[in-house]
């Protein structure tokens, strides 16, 4: 949303790694760290950084004025070559659909097609 509004040119932030290129192309400097504060903009990468983000937001709300921007790098971190380890681990441990569930979805889709065809003929 911030990129679409043109508000990221010259700003430093972090985000979910999947949108890194969009933010860099919008003029932002992207860092692969758990929390970045650039003036009144506080960002984190995702749920894995919740503890740092909550501390950062509490600090941001406790101040009466935006924190001054000091010593933030002006070159973006490299794009990752592979997914983060916790995401791969979560996929390995997530439940897989059973053959019965997949078959049920196929039967439901076929039933919907039949009902639509009958409605179109009437």
Residue 53 predicted with pLDDT over 80: yes
Residue 76 pLDDT level (bands cut at 50, 70, 90): confident
- Our CA angle for 58, 38, 32, nearest 5°, is 95
For residue 102, pLDDT beyond 60: yes
Nearest residue to 27 (alpha-carbon basis) of 17, 45, 47, 13? 13
More confident residue, 64 or 34: 34
Confidence check: pLDDT of 122 > 90: no
Overall average pLDDT of the 74-102 stretch: 79
Asked if residue 12 lies in contact with residue 31, where contact means CB atoms within 8 angstroms, the answer is: yes
**DSSP 3-state of 38:** strand
Average pLDDT, the chain: 85
Q: Is pTM, for the whole model, over 0.85?
A: no
């Amino acid at each position: 949303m911030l990129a679409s509004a043109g508000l990221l040119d010259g700003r430093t932030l972090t985000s979910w790694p999947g949108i890194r290129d969009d933010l860099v192309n919008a003029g932002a400097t992207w860092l692969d760290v758990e929390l970045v504060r650039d003036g009144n903009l506080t960002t984190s990468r995702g749920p894995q950084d919740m503890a740092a983000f909550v501390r950062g937001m509490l600090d941001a709300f406790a101040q009466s004025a935006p924190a001054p921007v000091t010593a933030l790098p002006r070159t973006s971190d490299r794009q990752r070559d592979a997914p983060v380890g916790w995401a791969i681990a979560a996929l390995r441990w997530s439940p897989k659909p059973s053959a019965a569930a997949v078959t049920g979805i196929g039967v439901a889709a076929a039933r919907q097609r039949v009902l639509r065809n009958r409605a179109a003929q009437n």
